[in-house]
C-alpha cells in the first residue's frame, strides 16, 4: 500500500511538471516523450522512492551507473537535463527545499569533424590549375593559389589574408605565419605550391596599384576580404567535391586529416596547424579511427 501511495505521489508531481512544460514552456512532443522516459527510468531505478526525498548523492550515483552502461554522452546529457529541470520545478513550487540535481555535471561530447573533401576530389583541382595557370587572368590564378595554399599549408582564413609578400621565403621554401594570439610559426612550402606562388607574384607585380604589402590582392590592389576568400573556396570546391560545407576551414580539416591518414604524427600536425595544445589536434584521430574500424570490419575473420 505504501509503495502504491509513493508511486501515485510521484505520478502527480510528474503530471504537474509535464503540464508545465507543455503549457508554459511550449516543449516539443519529442522533448516531452524523452523526459517522460528519463524520469520514469529514474523512478524505477529507486524502486519508486519519493522523488521529494532523493538526494544529490543518489542522483550522482545513478548518473555514474548510466555512464557505466556506456550510454552515449548525448543521451546522458539529456537525462541530466531532465533531472535538473524537474527538480528545479519542484523547488520553484516549494515541494522541495533544495535541488538535488543542481550539482550534476554534464559529460563532455566528443568533437566531430564534418565531412571533408576526399584526396581524389582535391586531386581534380590540379587539372584545373594546369589549365588556368597557362592562360588564366590575374584573378583566376590568384583564386587557385588561395585554394591550393589553404590545402597545402592548413592555414586559417585570417592567417592567409594577413600574409604579406615578405612572409614567403623562397630560399628556404617556407611561409612565416602569424596565428592566434599573435604567435608565429613556420610552414613549409612544397615545389608545386612554390611554382604557383611564383607565377602569381609575377602577375601581382603587373597590377597598377601594387603598393600594398598584403600577399593576396584584388584587381584594384586592395587586400582580399574574408567574404571574397570564402566565395572563392566555395566556388572551386563546388566544382570538385560534393561535401555539404565548402569553406576555407574544410580545407584546413582536409590538410590535417590527409596528413594523418598518410602516417604523419600528431605532434607534427599540431605544429603545422598552430594549435596551442595537442588536445585540439586529437579531433582528427576520430576520422582515422573510423578508417581503422572499417578495415577491421572488412578483414578480420571474427567480424563477419
Nearby residues of 253 by Cβ (< 8 Å), 6 or more positions away: 113, 114, 116, 284
3-state secondary structure of 276: coil
Q: Which three three-digit cell numbers place residue 28?
A: 516539443
Sheet (strand 184-188) strand order = 168-169, 174-178, 184-188
Q: Which residues are catalytic?
A: 156, 180, 249, 252, 275, 284
Count, in order, helices (H) and strands (E) of the chain.
13, 3
d(CA 157, CA 141): 18
d(CA 252, CA 114): 12
Torsion (CA) 250, 253, 254, 259 in degrees, nearest 10: 170
Give the CA distances from residue 180 to residues 107, 155, 207, 267, 276, in Å, rounded to whole numbers and listed in that order: 28, 11, 31, 18, 9
d(CA 234, CA 169): 29
Contact 164, 215 (CB under 8 A): yes
Amino acid at each position: 500500500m505504501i509503495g502504491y501511495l509513493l508511486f501515485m505521489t510521484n505520478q502527480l508531481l510528474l503530471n504537474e511538471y509535464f503540464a508545465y512544460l507543455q503549457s508554459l514552456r511550449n516543449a516539443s512532443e519529442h522533448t516531452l516523450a524523452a523526459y517522460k522516459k528519463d524520469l520514469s527510468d529514474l523512478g524505477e531505478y529507486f524502486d519508486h522512492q519519493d522523488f521529494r526525498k532523493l538526494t544529490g548523492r543518489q542522483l550522482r550515483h545513478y548518473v555514474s551507473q548510466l555512464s557505466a552502461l556506456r550510454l552515449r554522452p548525448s543521451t546522458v546529457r539529456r537525462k541530466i537535463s531532465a533531472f535538473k529541470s524537474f527538480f528545479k520545478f519542484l523547488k520553484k513550487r516549494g515541494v522541495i527545499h533544495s535541488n538535488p540535481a543542481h550539482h550534476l555535471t554534464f559529460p563532455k561530447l566528443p568533437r566531430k569533424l564534418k565531412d571533408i573533401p576526399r584526396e581524389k576530389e582535391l586531386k581534380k583541382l590540379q587539372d584545373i590549375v594546369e589549365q588556368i595557370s597557362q592562360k588564366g587572368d590575374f584573378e583566376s590564378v590568384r583564386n587557385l593559389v588561395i585554394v591550393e595554399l589553404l590545402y597545402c599549408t592548413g592555414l586559417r582564413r585570417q592567417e592567409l589574408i594577413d600574409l604579406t609578400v615578405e612572409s614567403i621565403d623562397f630560399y628556404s621554401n617556407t611561409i612565416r605565419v602569424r596565428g592566434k594570439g599573435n604567435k608565429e610559426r613556420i610552414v613549409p612550402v612544397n615545389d608545386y605550391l612554390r611554382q604557383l606562388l611564383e607565377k602569381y607574384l609575377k602577375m601581382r607585380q603587373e597590377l597598377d596599384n601594387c603598393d600594398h604589402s598584403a600577399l593576396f590582392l584584388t584587381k584594384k590592389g586592395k587586400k582580399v576580404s574574408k567574404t571574397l576568400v570564402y566565395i572563392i573556396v566555395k566556388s572551386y570546391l563546388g566544382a570538385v567535391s560534393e561535401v555539404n560545407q565548402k569553406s576555407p576551414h574544410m580545407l584546413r580539416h582536409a590538410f590535417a586529416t590527409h596528413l594523418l591518414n598518410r602516417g604523419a604524427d600528431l605532434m607534427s600536425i599540431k605544429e603545422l596547424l598552430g594549435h596551442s595544445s595537442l588536445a585540439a589536434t586529437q579531433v582528427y584521430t576520430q576520422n582515422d579511427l573510423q578508417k581503422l574500424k572499417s578495415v577491421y570490419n572488412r578483414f578480420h575473420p571474427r567480424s563477419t
